[in-house]
């Protein structure tokens, strides 16, 4: 049986691109997300590539649902080789002292606690089998805060710390841990951040050619396909005219 990769948040953006790239690379895919119809549509396309595909519909914020979904996998699908913790996002861009409580909870519960849940459910099996790879989708926002980023930046700083901590915890095994830190990527990210305001979201990418989900998927594939003795611990990926989370040159 081919190696198995599980990608969370696979219904769009970086997650969908990662699922497609890994499938092209021959991985059997477990794709998860909250939209069943979208998962099914992507599964049909991936199956056409000749790989096995299973869809799991759940929200990573729901720990019990996540556990039940993984327990429902056939035994031969439970030995997951690659976990891509992609599910996450940003909500709101207000100053910290004017932030929305619900937005804060959503970011913390998804970006941090959801990642922890998936790690806790899957990595013990990797440690037992002495093989596996965890790829966390972090962000340049985890390196330094930017205006309005406050809580989102804090969650991505947590992703960096959790990635580093896990890498230490599994150093006695062959399990590898990679933190991919994208800069400006044109996906539904900004539409979500601005609660559906497409015009405002489009303004984020004006005057610069941003990265795409496919660009980040290439980085994920590079890390997981590296030789067994090579661990790509961290990878910062920026658009050419972006220097940091807050320095962007627009034409």
For the stretch 81-92, pLDDT in tens is 999 999 999 999
Residue ranges of the chain with per-residue pLDDT less than 50:
none
Quote the domain boundaries for residue 157: 4-237
> What sign does the dihedral 188-236-165-127 (CA atoms) show?
positive
CA-to-CA dists, residue 36 to 17, 56, 207, angstroms: 17, 8, 35
Answer yes or no: is 111 within a domain. Answer: yes
pLDDT digits (tens, 9 = 90+) for 208-221: 999 999 999 999 99
CA-to-CA dists, residue 28 to 3, 7, 41, angstroms: 6, 11, 16
The mean of the pLDDT values for the chain is 96
- In the chain, which ranges are continuous DSSP H helix? 13-24, 36-47, 63-71, 101-107, 115-129, 150-169, 189-193, 198-203, 213-224
pLDDT digits (tens, 9 = 90+) for 173-202: 999 999 999 999 998 877 788 888 888 878
Answer yes or no: is 202 within a domain. Answer: yes
Q: Which of 101, 146, 152, 205 is catalytic?
A: 152
Tokens of 159: 């992703």
> Is position 146 annotated as part of the catalytic site?
no
Answer yes or no: is 248 within a domain. Answer: no
Total count of domains within the chain: 1
- Tell me, what CATH number does 158's domain have? 3.40.50.720
Q: Coil, strand or helix: which one is 103?
A: helix
pLDDT at 192: 82
Answer yes or no: is 19 within a domain. Answer: yes
pLDDT at 134: 99
pLDDT at 189: 78
pLDDT at 187: 86
- Distance, in Å, from the CA atom of 71 to the CA atom of 189, rounded to the nearest integer, reads 30
Answer yes or no: is 176 within a domain. Answer: yes
Answer yes or no: is 9 within a domain. Answer: yes
pLDDT at 38: 96
Answer yes or no: is 150 within a domain. Answer: yes
């Amino acid at each position: 049986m081919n190696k198995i990769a599980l990608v969370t948040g696979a219904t769009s953006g970086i997650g969908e691109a990662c699922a497609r790239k890994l499938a092209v690379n021959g991985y059997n895919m477990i794709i998860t997300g909250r939209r069943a119809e979208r998962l099914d549509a992507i599964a049909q396309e991936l199956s056409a590539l000749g790989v096995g595909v299973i869809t799991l519909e759940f929200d990573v914020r729901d720990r019990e649902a996540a556990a039940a979904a993984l327990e429902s996998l056939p035994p031969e699908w439970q030995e997951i080789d690659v976990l891509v913790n992609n599910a996450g996002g940003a909500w709101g861009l207000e100053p910290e002292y004017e932030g929305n409580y619900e937005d804060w909870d959503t970011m913390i519960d998804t970006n941090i606690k959801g990642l922890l849940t998936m790690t806790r459910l899957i990595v013990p099996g990797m440690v037992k089998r002495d093989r596996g790879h965890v790829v966390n989708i972090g962000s340049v926002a985890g390196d330094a805060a930017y205006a309005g980023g406050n809580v989102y930046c804090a969650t991505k700083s947590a992703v960096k710390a959790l990635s580093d901590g896990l890498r230490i915890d599994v150093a006695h095994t062959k399990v590898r841990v990679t933190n991919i830190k994208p800069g400006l990527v044109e996906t539904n990210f900004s539409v979500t951040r601005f609660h559906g305001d497409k015009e405002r979201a489009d303004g984020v990418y004006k005057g610069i050619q941003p990265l795409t989900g496919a660009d980040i998927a290439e980085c994920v594939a590079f890390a997981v396909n590296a030789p067994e003795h090579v661990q790509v611990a961290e990878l910062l990926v920026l658009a050419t005219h972006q220097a940091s989370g807050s320095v962007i040159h627009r034409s």
